[in-house]
Amino acid sequence: MLKLRIVSPEKVVYDGEVESVTVPGTLGSFEILNNHAPIISSLADGKVVYATRQGVQTLDIHGGFVEVKQNEVSLCVEV
pLDDT band at 1 (very low <50, low <70, confident <90, very high): very high
Note the pLDDT of residue 37: 95
Structure confidence at residue 14 as a pLDDT band (50, 70, 90): very high
Q: How many CB atoms lie within 10 A of CB 40?
A: 10
pTM over 0.75: yes
What is the pLDDT, as a whole number, of residue 63?
Answer: 96
User: Which pLDDT tens digit goes with each residue over 28-60?
Assistant: 999 999 999 999 999 999 999 999 999 999 999
